[in-house]
Amino acid sequence: MKTEKIWDLPTRLFHWTFAASFMTAFAASTREWFLDYHVMAGALVLAGASFRFLWGFSGNRNARFSGFVRGWAEIKSFLTGFIRLNPAKYPGHNPAVGLAVIVMLALAAVLGATGVIVYSGEEMRGPLAGFFSFETAETAGLIHSVAAWSFLALAGVHIAAALLHDVIWKEGLIRSMLTGRKKVESMEDAAVAERPILKKTAFVLFAFVAASAAMLVATGQQASGHAGALVEGNGGFKPLEKNIAYEEECGSCHNAFSPTLLPARSWEKVMAGLAEHFGDDASLPDETSSEIRAWLLASSAERALSEPSKKILSSIGEGAPLRITETAYWKEKHVDIGEEVYSRKSVTSRTNCAACHPGSPWGSFEDRDISVPKV
């Protein structure tokens, strides 16, 4: 037995970055508030996978796919030995880990692609906001979580197996991923072709993917700041435009509800019934009324690119509610808020959306912007 340098530094750095960024992304997926962290960590997973893919053709001998990707027959014979607690020893990755590496890289690619679709089509953020339909994004979201759980399961098996190798067979696998060195019986000295350009490209690709994600998060924040909901206009989606008449007339008794939260058929009903409007007479001169009506219809939920709009639409089916606060979606989102909160001096009513959602006039109800007044 002699101690040999098995893993080059980039492979080791990749290994731990990949593990840490996946775990961070997974942990940050539990709360919508952590979305930015989730996206950043997820991007590092993708950046790492892109790097590792190229490194698989340019790294040292053990880092190359040719050094550890094996056919099914060899994987099976290794697993048979493993189950009998007498696995064959390999200086680098054994055939089972070889398979796991390929599956994890593939899962990372699936996670990255579906993640971008969810970010643009469901969260309506980033430079591609609205490029994918909400329905496509929901399907992508499903695939995203199946891929994430599969990745987690595979990582679990991988960690358990590595512990077995180290605790029972004392192979020093985990230490070798830190120091790069491992005791091996023999290691043939097969030379591999140097590929300096591919090596450099691997690093550039890593930086590029990571930087793109940083940009995605930055522009996502702009879109979710007070730019608010995007609405279908001539030739694409535009930020919801304000309407002075609406704010002055409809914002005089209550806050100006975001038009993006009810369908056009609801707004038509509201505007047709202003003379008897929730116990008030809110009638308007014809001209003002038709201007406001046109604007409400042009900015209604069907035409808006925002997650709440889509969810409200699907929660009401064919209905045409007069109240946002009567939709199943709204009720479900506010189920934890007690009457006492609505009666606080700075809130006064559940219809005072802006008290807790400062971005509401722009159609922005982002979780991270919510602040419930204490008094």
> Looking at this protein, which amino acid is placed at residue 290?
S
Q: What is the amino acid identity at position 228?
A: G
* Residue 12 in the binding site for ligand HEC (CB under 6 A): no
Residue span 178-217 as binding mask against ligand HEC, x where in contact by CB under 6 A, dash where not: ----------------------------------------
302: left (phi over 0), alpha (psi -120 to 50) or beta: alpha
Binding mask 342-371 for ligand HEC (x = CB under 6 A): x----x-xxxxx-xxx-------x-x--x-
Q: How far apart are CA 25 and CA 180, in angstroms?
A: 26
* C-alpha distance from residue 120 to each of 146, 217, 230, 318, 329 (Å): 19, 11, 12, 27, 21
Three-point CA angle 69, 70, 75, nearest 5°: 120
186 or 241: CB nearest ligand HEC: 241
Could you tell me the smallest distance in angstroms from the CB atom of residue 204 to ligand HEC? 37
Binding mask 256-275 for ligand HEC (x = CB under 6 A): -x---x--------x---x-
- The answer to whether the CB of 61 falls within 8 A of the CB of 190 is yes
Minimum Å distance from CB 254 to ligand HEC? 5
How near is the Cβ of 282 to ligand HEC at its closest, in Å? 4
With respect to ligand HEC, which residue has the nearer C-beta, 142 or 372? 372
Quick one: which of 106, 187, 282, 320 contacts ligand HEC (CB under 6 A)?
A: 282
Query: Which string of x and - marks every residue 301-330 that binds ligand HEC (by CB under 6 A)?
Result: ------xx--------------xxx-----
Q: Which is nearer to ligand HEC, 19 or 274 (CB)?
A: 274
Cβ proximity to ligand HEC, 156 vs 273, nearer residue: 273
Looking at 337, 343, 346, 368, which residue binds ligand HEC (CB under 6 A)? 337
- Provide the minimum distance between the beta carbon of 320 and ligand HEC in the complex, in angstroms, as a whole number: 12
Amino acid letter, 147 = A
What span, in angstroms and rounded, lies between the C-alpha atoms of 136 and 258?
A: 25
Nearest alpha-carbon partner for 93 in 122, 59, 49, 63: 63
HSE-up of 89 (CA within 13 Å, CB side)?
Answer: 15
Residue that the structure tokens 């979606």 belong to = 329
Closest alpha carbon to 32 in 145, 111, 123, 113:
123
Residues that bind ligand HEC (CB under 6 A): 249-250, 252-254, 257, 261, 270, 274, 277-278, 280, 282, 292, 307-308, 323-325, 333-334, 337, 341-342, 347, 349-353, 355-357, 365, 367, 370, 372
